Structure 1
Amino acid sequence: MEYYFFDPLFDSDAFSQKAVAYMLNGFEQESETPMHQHKKCQLVMALSGFVTCKIADSIWVIPANCAVWIPTETAHSIRVSSNAQVCSLFIDSAITELPEQAVMISISPLLRELITSLCYIDHCQQQQQTTVRLVDVLIDQLIIMPTQHFDFPIPKEPRLRKIAEQLLDYPADRRTVGEWATHYAMSERTLSRLVKQEVGLSFARWRAQLHLILAFKKLSDRMPVQRIADDLGYESVSAFITFFKKKMGTTPKQYFKQT
């Protein structure tokens, strides 16, 4: 039996109000929607478990206290871990203050409670004045939340796409940018320029984004830090912890307690 992260009877575009939300509780196994799009913008927030999204040509991960923002008419798929509890918030694309591109949004405790509360209100009652006022506050809070980037861009350039696919398959591959350049018969400068041009990051930062995504997933799966360090090709646990703390401001153990 297949499990999908969506309610086939729910059509977000059928609702006229500014925002509509629903919550899905954990399935028995990992589940995923097929690629799709809709007129309303979507915010996906995990209350528990783990969520990854493929949005256009990037893979996004949703860590604790964050949500991913999916703009209107943007093709995406959503994969959730088993027994996850996930809120989906759909917002009218006419609200222009919200991001026009996919982005990770930090979620404050207040915003988290507002979104969760909306999920528990019957859709037929979500146009009542009390709910309308709640939605107005929710949107005001959403607009002022800081944004972050936890995505791994997949370039369109054929050689870079192959590198991305190889890194996804073998994240412990520690070849330098020079070694990758030699493998694909180009200079180190050319490869560095292409990566910067395609994904807006240096090669090192691009690969670091992938390691963060995979680390989040493995931590959510309760994998020991030693094994994560090995899987990602770090020389030692301490080297991995140093990398993680530099990027996230906390150790993997402390991050794990927040999820």
Structure 2
Amino acid sequence: MTFDPIDRTGAERPVETADHRALRLAAVEAAVEPAVAYSHFYDDDEHVAEHEHGRAQLLHPSVGVVTVTTRAGRWMVPPGHALWIPAGVRHAVDTIGRVDMHSVYVLPDAISGLPAHLHVTGLTPLMRSLIAEAVRLRPEAATPRAGYILGALLHEILHLPQRPLGLPFPSQRRLAQLCREFLVQPTAHLKIDHWADAAGMSRRSFTRLFRSETGLSLTAWRQQACLMAALPRLAAGETVTAVALDLGYDSVPAFTTMFCRVMGAPPKTYLRAQATA
């Protein structure tokens, strides 16, 4: 079921205004159905201030890339992926490129087994089709077909593969500041000893605290930060060589090995698959 204030005449749809966003979010809160779906557009470099929903949100940019920031960290969502945001989690959204956003809002108890943690997922071919159909439904389309589409969509959420495109931030203030500074200019040459010295800790104490605060080793965290910096640039058409060297990798094969280990395919293969999905 979709609330859509934009006329569907085949012309290019305008960017969602603040007024349209307020109407959409009000409709989300007023809905009684287990799931409701919306399609909306954002300009490049647009910022949506921190907010929360009474429903969980499955956020899927079919075009463009978004980053979502919470007090616990930052998540990047490229095309072909989605972000599951549990109900009540405060978050802000920033766009990279013009974004065609599809959002499915789900009651927390719509079905049993819904995820309780915020994370990026891949999209199965079935889920892509279900979301595409769900955002075309109109409010008056409370038909058996609409019920089947949304019901299948709810159950497919349970089968979405999790992707390592999140960067949890430590709660310890100095560690969090080091992480934020790193994101301004990520590099493959991050040194544990340098960060331990900056935090005023021994290497052993630092590595133990960083893992306990983030759930990741500093090496794994650094790899994911570099990957999140690389993906939007690669999707925008920059060469693998330029991105790899700019991030400080000693060679393109070293970058490709990291990318393949985390994403399951080399950069060109991965991007080609996302473009044809």
TM score, norm. by length of structure 2: 0.86
Structure-2 residue corresponding to 1:106: 122
Unaligned runs of 5+ in 2: 1-14
Structure-2 residue corresponding to 1:121: 137
Question: How big is each residue's C-alpha offset from its partner over 1:149-185, in whole Å with a ceiling of 9 and x where there is no partner?
Answer: 3101111102211210121122127232122212332
Mapped partners of 2:160, 2:186: distance in 1: 32
Tell me which of 208, 232, 236 is aligned to 2:251: 236
Question: How big is each residue's C-alpha offset from its partner over 1:43-84, in whole Å with a ceiling of 9 and x where there is no partner?
Answer: 011212212211332111123432100000100112223332
Matches within 5 A, 1:199-210: 199-210=214-225
Query: Is the 8 Å Cα contact of residues 188 and 222 (structure 2) preserved in structure 1?
Result: no
Query: Secondary structure of the residue that 2:104 maps to in structure 1?
Result: strand
Question: How big is each residue's C-alpha offset from its partner over 1:9-57, in whole Å with a ceiling of 9 and x where there is no partner?
Answer: 2121111101111112453x33221110010110011212212211332
Tell me which of 172, 182, 187 is aligned to 1:167: 182
Query: Secondary structure of the residue that 1:161 maps to in structure 2?
Result: helix
1:92 aligns with 2:97: no
Shift of 1:103: 1.4
1:245 aligns with 2:235: no
Mapped partners of 2:54, 2:187: distance in 1: 39
Cα distance 1:80–1:169, how it changes in 2: closer, same or farther (>3 A)? Answer: closer
Cα distance 1:173–1:209, how it changes in 2: closer, same or farther (>3 A)? Answer: closer
Structure-1 residue corresponding to 2:8: none
How many residue pairs get aligned? The number is: 256
Structure-2 residue corresponding to 1:39: 54
Structure-2 residue corresponding to 1:9: 23
Query: Secondary structure of the residue that 1:120 maps to in structure 2?
Result: coil
Query: Secondary structure of the residue that 1:34 maps to in structure 2?
Result: strand
Query: Is the 8 Å Cα contact of residues 3 and 30 (structure 1) preserved in structure 2?
Result: no
Larger deviation: 243-252 or 113-122? 243-252
Query: Is the 8 Å Cα contact of residues 172 and 230 (structure 1) preserved in structure 2?
Result: no
Mapped partners of 1:250, 1:35: distance in 2: 34
Structure-1 residue corresponding to 2:76: 61
Question: How big is each residue's C-alpha offset from its partner over 1:185-244, in whole Å with a ceiling of 9 and x where there is no partner?
Answer: 210001001111100111101111111111112212222222211221111222211211
Code of the residue aligned with 2:164 in structure 1: it is H
Give the % identical residues.
28
Mapped partners of 1:231, 1:64: distance in 2: 23
Mapped partners of 2:17, 2:92: distance in 1: 11
Code of the residue aligned with 2:126 in structure 1: it is L
Structure-2 residue corresponding to 1:186: 201
Shift of 1:4: 6.3
Cα distance 1:137–1:4, how it changes in 2: closer, same or farther (>3 A)? Answer: same
Tell me which of 138, 157, 160 is aligned to 1:142: 157
Query: Is the 8 Å Cα contact of residues 16 and 42 (structure 2) preserved in structure 1?
Result: no
Larger deviation: 83-92 or 169-178? 169-178
Query: Is the 8 Å Cα contact of residues 133 and 149 (structure 2) preserved in structure 1?
Result: no
Mapped partners of 1:122, 1:78: distance in 2: 26
Query: Is the 8 Å Cα contact of residues 63 and 101 (structure 2) preserved in structure 1?
Result: yes
Unaligned runs of 5+ in 1: none
Query: Secondary structure of the residue that 2:232 maps to in structure 1?
Result: helix
Code of the residue aligned with 2:122 in structure 1: it is S
Mapped partners of 2:187, 2:69: distance in 1: 22
Code of the residue aligned with 2:181 in structure 1: it is Q
